[in-house]
């Protein structure tokens, strides 16, 4: 589904990713953990080409992101992205946030898009908020609308960039529930998160990144209970 | 000294009598302001977007336009457009056309800065979210950035509208028969400078207050709409 080979990313003289190799199979749920500044978010943003790639290869659904013929907008609809700060469009209702992509990108009729929108808002438990503007929603509700907005393009994979980090603790659960429902649906997911409980429960693989490299990867049981690398041990010792 | 007001008597009737003639000037002032600002807004939006463009040529061109207009007096711009440019082009420009152009070009440069500032104040995450659902750069601008930026432009735009309306009085130098010009012409006949300039000032004030009120209404409406 997603194949990354020797990915490097520089911001000026600063090398943020120093050669990442990662292969994500269809339907797999991968959680990326690691200290801040380790390159987790940048890795995710490279997959969606929100950051351009300095060198290396990223292949999404068989399409090489560096290939000039690859339609980047198409890739972006194939891979949904959920942001830490939600990034809902504040001038649009929840419904309009969700239907903008289907209408403008997929050229769906307004009526069909609204049916889809309602279905997706129901899925995230917010059908009664369809006509509410983002500033009247709680953080957790915002993030659930943002997830629905991404799902509206029926992506083949979803990227979550610290989706619960900006939430009040009591609102984290509702977002994780929605994400778990996606796992049940068989969605391919790459999640940058500090929610170790979530990682333990749903991830097939946990990746520990530090200083722009994948330091260790393993099943959640193995990585949490029996970390091999000193840096992994150190990090887990601090967060668990 | 005597004639300078030693026995000055305020003549209320002069104000009333001057109004019909001043109103012909008001019409022209409104006309110039209206079209000047429409073209100015288009010009300013283009240059403002240009200043946020990654295309170096467009970016520099917009920058040069804004800097040269902001860095020179409006009076000089008006004179240049009316007396200077026609010599180079080899054709006469009607005063009204020169006036509207001057207001448009001048307001456009200030509006460009307003547009640029508003667009750059929108969180980067908004574009990213738009791009992540597959919108093109242009679509993200039209559906996501511009509507949010426009709301932030309204107060400074209102300010610029008021400034431009007042700036039309400078067109007196190229003989456009707007409000100030009409006032001057009445005074040339009756010498009642106090009453006539007072009336002219009150009319300008009424117009600028009207713009302020209108913008308040628009602002309120946009607030309710979200």
Q: pLDDT below 70 — which residues of chain B?
A: 1-5, 225-226
Alpha-carbon gap, residue A66 to A52, rounded angstroms: 9
Find which of B54, B122, B129, B224 to mutate to test the A interface (most A CBs within 10 Å of its CB).
Answer: B129
Contact B132/A50, CB-based, under 8 Å? yes
Question: Smallest CA–CA separation between A222 and chain B, in Å?
Answer: 34
The pLDDT of residue A217 is above 90? yes
Chain position carrying tokens 């200290």: A35
Nearest CA in chain B to A79: B132
pLDDT for the residue B24? 96
What is the mean predicted confidence (pLDDT) over A207-211? 95
**Residue B140 CB coordination number (10 Å):** 20
Number of H helices, E strands in chain B: 10, 0
Contacts of B96 (CB under 8 A, 6+ apart): B28, B32, B176
Q: How far apart are the first and last CA of chain A?
A: 31
Residues from chain B contacting residue A85 (CB–CB below 8 Å): 123, 125
Residue of B nearest to A131 (CA): B226
Cα–Cα dist A87/B157, whole Å: 27
Q: Name which of B126, B132, B148 is nearest A81 (Cβ-Cβ).
A: B132
Q: What mean pLDDT comes out for the span A34-54?
A: 93
What's the average model confidence in pLDDT over A118-125?
96
Burial (Cβ within 10 Å: 0-12, 13-18, ≥19) of residue A170: exposed
| Pairwise pLDDT comparison (B221 vs A40), residue with the higher score | A40
- Distance from the B147 Cα atom to the nearest Cα atom in chain A, whole angstroms: 8
Kindly report the nearest CA distance between residue B142 and chain A, in angstroms.
Answer: 11
Contact assessment for residue A67 and residue A58, using Cβ atoms and an 8 Å cutoff: no
pTM, entire model: 0.88
Of B126, B139, B151, the CB nearest to A89: B126
CA B193 to chain A, closest CA, distance in angstroms equals 52
Judge contact between A202 and A180, C-beta under 8 A: yes
Whose tokens are 């990713």? That residue is A17
Interface probe for B, chosen from A71, A77, A104, A116 (most Cβ of B below 10 Å), is A104
Which chain A residue shows the shortest CA-CA distance from B223?
A91
Contacts of B128 in chain A (CB under 8 A): 50, 81, 83, 87
Chain B residue set in contact with A, beta carbons under 8 Å: 123, 125-126, 128-136, 139, 143-144, 147-148, 151, 226
A57 pLDDT band, cuts 50/70/90, is: very high
Query: How many CB atoms sit inside 10 A of residue A56's CB?
Result: 18
Instruction: Give the A:B interface size as CB pairs under 8 Å.
Output: 65
In this predicted structure, what is the pLDDT of residue B1?
45
SS3 A193: coil
Chain B residue numbers with beta carbons less than 8 Å from the beta carbon of A52 are none
Name the token pair of B89: 């082009």
| Smallest Cα distance from B132 to chain A, Å | 5
pLDDT tens-place string over residues A153-197: 999 999 999 999 999 999 999 999 999 999 999 999 999 998 888
Report ipTM (2 d.p.): 0.91
The whole-angstrom distance between B92's CA and the closest CA on chain A is 48
- Nearest chain B residue to A92 by CA distance is B226
């Amino acid at each position: 589904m997603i194949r990354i080979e020797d990915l490097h990313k520089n911001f000026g003289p600063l090398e943020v990713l120093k050669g990442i190799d990662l292969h994500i199979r269809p339907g797999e749920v991968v959680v990326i953990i690691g200290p801040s500044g380790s390159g987790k978010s940048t890795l995710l943003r490279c997959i969606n080409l929100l950051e351009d790639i300095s060198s290396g290869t990223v292949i999404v659904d068989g399409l090489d992101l560096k290939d000039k013929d690859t339609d980047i907008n198409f890739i972006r609809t194939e891979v949904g992205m959920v942001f830490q700060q939600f990034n809902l469009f504040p001038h649009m209702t929840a419904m309009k946030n969700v239907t903008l992509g289907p209408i403008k990108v997929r050229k769906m009729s307004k009526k069909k898009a609204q049916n889809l929108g309602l279905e997706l808002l129901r899925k995230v438990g917010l059908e009664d908020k369809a006509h509410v503007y983002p500033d009247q929603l709680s953080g957790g509700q915002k993030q659930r609308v943002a997830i629905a907005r991404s799902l509206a393009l029926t992506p083949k994979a979803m990227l979550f960039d610290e989706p619960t980090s900006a939430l009040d603790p009591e609102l984290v659960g509702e977002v994780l529930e929605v994400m778990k429902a996606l796992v049940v649906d068989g969605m391919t997911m790459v999640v940058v998160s500090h929610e170790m409980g979530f990682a333990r429960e749903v991830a097939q693989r946990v990746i520990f990144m530090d200083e722009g490299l994948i330091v260790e990867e393993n099943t959640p049981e193995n990585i949490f209970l029996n970390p091999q690398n000193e840096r992994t041990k150190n990090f887990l010792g601090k967060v668990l | 000294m005597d004639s300078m007001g030693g026995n000055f008597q305020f003549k209320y009737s002069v104000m009333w009598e001057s109004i019909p003639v001043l109103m012909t000037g008001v019409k022209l002032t409104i006309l110039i302001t209206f079209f000047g600002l429409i073209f100015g807004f288009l010009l300013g939006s283009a240059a403002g977007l240009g200043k946020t463009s990654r295309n170096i040529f467009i970016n520099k061109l917009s920058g040069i336009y804004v800097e040269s207009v902001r860095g020179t007096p409006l009076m000089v711009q008006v004179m240049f457009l009316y007396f200077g440019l026609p010599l180079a082009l080899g054709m006469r420009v009607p005063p009204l056309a020169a006036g509207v152009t001057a207001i448009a070009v001048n307001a456009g440069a200030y509006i460009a800065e307003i547009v640029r500032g508003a667009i750059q104040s929108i969180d980067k995450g908004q574009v990213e979210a738009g791009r992540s659902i597959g919108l093109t750069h242009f679509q993200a601008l039209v559906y996501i950035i511009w509507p949010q930026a426009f709301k932030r432009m309204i107060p400074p735009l209102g300010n610029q509208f008021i400034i431009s309306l007042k700036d039309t009085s400078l067109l007196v130098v190229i003989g456009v028969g707007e409000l100030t010009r009409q006032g001057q012409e009445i005074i040339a006949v009756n010498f009642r400078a106090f009453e006539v300039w007072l009336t002219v000032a009150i009319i300008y004030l009424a117009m600028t207050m009207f713009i302020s009120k209108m913008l308040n209404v628009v602002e309120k409406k946009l607030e309710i709409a979200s």
